[in-house]
Amino acid sequence: MSVASLVLGLLALFPFSILTGIPAAIAGHKALRRKSPGRGMAIAGLTMGWLSIAIVVPVAIVMLVTKPRNTGASARSNSVTTTPAVDSLRLKHPDWDLNVCKGILKHGVWSEQDDGSWHGMTHEQLKASWGNPSHVRYDNKYVSILETRSDEQWTYDGKPWIIADDGRAIFYFRDGVLIGWQGVSPDEILFMNVTQ
């Protein structure tokens, strides 16, 4: 019993911790009660077993009580509660942000400008949010000999969430990225940091 206590105690201090710490303590107590030879091994196993328990239990409590804090986009994504509809949309488009998927299902729109570059909804995202447009106007502009800019204007008619007096919402795309809109309820705007 003394040898078992010592071996389990040694294992308890390294890879197996609580799995062998408790049996080491039990075997050490039994060996000391029997007054069998190897009293020193029993004491060593008992000590290492209780030491591993004394280390693992507080660490486990701290890990259970404290939660890791997320920051940035991953925190925003993780904080959103999903629904079957959101999950279905994410299966079709795994590269879309979770908040964008949730907003799309509520007919949300978004766009932002950062350092002169536009980051906004794509054609596919707006179609997922609002359906196919009633009308699309294309306009290709030649910025230079080497650069062409593609502007599009998408018009939607008759959607119940449109707030314009004429019942139309207009969305403006530049090179396939949403850069602005008219006639959209502020409740439908997910986030916007646009200088128009």
Q: What is the mean pLDDT of residues 94-117?
A: 76
Residues 128-171 have pLDDT tens digits of: 888 899 999 888 776 666 777 778 899 988 887 777 788 888 88
- Which pLDDT does position 46 carry in this prediction? 81
In terms of Cβ atoms closer than 10 Å to its own Cβ (0-12, 13-18, 19+), residue 145 is exposed
Confidence of residue 196 (pLDDT cuts 50, 70, 90): very low
- Which pLDDT does position 115 carry in this prediction? 64
Cβ neighbors of 47 (< 8 A, separation 6 or more) are: 9, 28
Is the predicted pLDDT of residue 105 greater than 60, yes or no?
yes
Q: Which amino acid is at 138?
A: Y
Residues 58-103 have pLDDT tens digits of: 877 887 887 655 444 444 444 446 788 888 888 888 888 887 788 8
- % of the chain with per-residue pLDDT over 70: 77
Torsion region of 170: left, alpha or beta (phi above 0 gives left; psi -120 to 50 gives alpha): beta
User: How far is Cα 37 from Cα 39, in angstroms, rounded to an integer?
Assistant: 6
State the residue for tokens 């908040």. Answer: 99
**What is the CATH code of the structural domain delimited by 106-193?**
3.30.1450
Q: What is the DSSP string of 92-161?
A: H-TTS-HHHHHHHHTT-EEEEEETTEEEE-BHHHHHHHH-S-SEEEEEEEESSSS-EEEEEEEEEES-TT
List the domain boundaries for the chain: 2-65, 106-193
- Which pLDDT does position 60 carry in this prediction? 78
Give strand pairing partners of 135: 155
Distances from the Cα of 10 to the Cα of 18, 32, 148, 157, angstroms = 12, 18, 72, 75
Is the predicted pLDDT of residue 195 greater than 60, yes or no?
no
For the ranges 9-18, 48-57, 86-95, 183-192, which has the lowest average pLDDT? 183-192
- Which pLDDT does position 176 carry in this prediction? 84
Is the predicted pLDDT of residue 17 greater than 60, yes or no?
yes
- Give the global pTM: 0.50
- Which pLDDT does position 183 carry in this prediction? 81
User: How far is Cα 2 from Cα 88, in angstroms, rounded to an integer?
Assistant: 60
- Better pLDDT: 173 or 195: 173
